[in-house]
A and B are shown apart, each in its own frame.
Chain A
Amino acid sequence: MTKIQNYVENVFAGLPKTKEAVEMKLGIIDSMEEKYSELLSMGKNENEAFGEVIADFGSIEEIREELGLAQPRYESVLREGSHAPSAPLETTDASSDPDNFNQFQKKFRLAITTGVLFCILALIGTLVTERISGEDSNAPAIVFFCFIAVAVGIFVYFGMQYSAYENKRAAQSVRHTSQNRGNEIVDALCGIIMLVATVIFLFLGFFGSLWHPGWVVFPIGGVICGIVDIVAKLWKKS
């Protein structure tokens, strides 16, 4: 694979491989390769030529718009805790209907309930395993992490889809900027809260060896983030 092919394939990787998308991708590759050859024959060195060709690539957003895909917004602050990172999803073509969204909401509620259930099972499972296999075994920890991993997986997956729906609806409504500004503040707060939680955790761990009850700061941080988010939403409504 040439460097140009590699670059374009990577940029197009997040998009569904429909006939249209693939045709556009291949056309762009051909065009860039031809330009590259011409620049080389004009005497430019490989890096210069490659740089120029990449600079003229444009924006994958234009391709997304043309394909009618959701336009995910990448928040500048990493959203942790009860938020999930927003990321592009290939399957959101049907997400503009209110019916789809309602269906999704039901699934979402079920998913969150299941996730919470798994968290509770994690605790119960750990205690039970500890009873069975005694104090020195690793089994309780393994059981705990397995259940938590499933719960986190559920939260992250459905959280991402929820964000994608939200972004699509935000893109369709006109009152853009005030919502985004509000979201940015909440996200910034969330980031700060989780960073503070991390600092406290490390402190407790290194200075107090309290890794064990110390980890509790993270779920607490997540819950505080959730509260901040709800408060912000109520604030916005008023």
Chain B
Amino acid sequence: MGGDILISSDVIRGYNDTIVLSLLRRKDSYGYEISKEIDRLSGGKYQIKETTLYSTVNRLEKNGYIASYYGSETFGKRRTYYRITSAGLGYYREKCEEWELTKRVIDCFVKEDFMEGKGEQPDD
């Protein structure tokens, strides 16, 4: 027992869309910049994998929540930028509300005295 606690991958999988959309709300961005911002804003606690990021972006674009365009050339390479759409903003708002509700429900069952390792240990 013990060791580092990691983010629940199940939970984070449901909110990758939300995370990416929240960044694109502030400004348009591209792949690597998005993953750097996620790392920075999460305080280093969430480093999104490349496959996760790009499958998320693909899904968001497929659903019309973001749109892509080519930025100006740098070193002969044209970057793909993403911007959020109005549908994306609506979806983002929904997911935020969903998270608030989820948080409130789970908090009913997560007691603080368990989090210090005190109290009963569950049987394995």
- A residues adjacent to B (C-beta < 8 A): 20, 23-24, 27-28, 30-32, 34-35, 56-60, 62-63, 65-66
Q: Which chain A residues lie closer than 8 Å to B52 at the CB level?
A: 58, 62
Is B22 an interface residue when CB atoms closer than 8 A count as contact? Answer: no
Of the stretches B54-62, B84-92, B95-103, the one at the interface is B54-62
Contact A63 B55 (CB under 8 A): yes
Q: Which chain A residues lie closer than 8 Å to B35 at the CB level?
A: 31
Q: Which chain A residues lie closer than 8 Å to B80 at the CB level?
A: 23, 27
Name which of B51, B58, B59, B80 has the most chain A CB atoms within 10 A of its CB.
B51
Q: Is the interface of B mostly helix, strand, loop or mixed?
A: helix
Partner pick for A56 among B49, B62, B77, CB 8 A cutoff: B49
Contact A66 B59 (CB under 8 A): yes
- Measured in the bound complex, the distance between the Cα atoms of B80 and A32 in whole Å is 14
Is B50 an interface residue when CB atoms closer than 8 A count as contact? Answer: yes
Is B23 an interface residue when CB atoms closer than 8 A count as contact? Answer: no
**Known A20-B58, A27-B80, A66-B58: A57·B51 in contact at CB below 8 Å:** yes
Q: Which B residue sits closest to A34, measured CB to CB? A: B32
- Measured in the bound complex, the distance between the Cα atoms of B35 and A62 in whole Å is 16
Q: Which chain A residues lie closer than 8 Å to B50 at the CB level?
A: 28, 31-32, 56-58
- Measured in the bound complex, the distance between the Cα atoms of B49 and A159 in whole Å is 34
Q: Which A residue sits closest to B59, measured CB to CB? A: A66
Q: What are 27 A-B pairs with beta-carbon distances under 8 A? A: A20-B58, A20-B62, A24-B54, A24-B58, A27-B54, A27-B57, A28-B50, A28-B51, A30-B31, A30-B32, A30-B77, A31-B35, A31-B53, A31-B54, A34-B32, A56-B49, A57-B50, A58-B49, A58-B50, A62-B49, A62-B51, A62-B52, A62-B55, A63-B54, A65-B55, A66-B55, A66-B58
Closest chain B CB from A14 CB (angstroms):
14
- Measured in the bound complex, the distance between the Cα atoms of B32 and A27 in whole Å is 9
Closest chain A CB from B65 CB (angstroms):
14
Q: Which chain B residues lie closer than 8 Å to A31 at the CB level?
A: 31-32, 35, 50, 53-54
Is B47 an interface residue when CB atoms closer than 8 A count as contact? Answer: yes
Name which of B35, B52, B55 has the most chain A CB atoms within 10 A of its CB.
B55
Closest chain B CB from A27 CB (angstroms):
5
Closest chain A CB from B42 CB (angstroms):
14
Q: Which chain B residues lie closer than 8 Å to A57 at the CB level?
A: 49-51
Q: Which chain B residues lie closer than 8 Å to A30 at the CB level?
A: 31-32, 77, 79
Contact B49 A24 (CB under 8 A): no
List 15 other contacts, CB 8 Å, given A24-B55, A63-B55. Answer: A24-B54, A24-B58, A27-B80, A28-B31, A30-B79, A31-B31, A31-B32, A31-B53, A56-B50, A58-B50, A58-B51, A58-B52, A59-B49, A62-B51, A66-B58
Contact A27 B49 (CB under 8 A): no
Closest chain B CB from A160 CB (angstroms):
25
Q: Please give me the 7 A-B residue pairs with the lowest Cβ-Cβ distance, nearest first.
A: A58-B49, A58-B51, A66-B55, A31-B31, A31-B32, A62-B51, A34-B32
Q: Which chain A residues lie closer than 8 Å to B31 at the CB level?
A: 27-28, 30-31
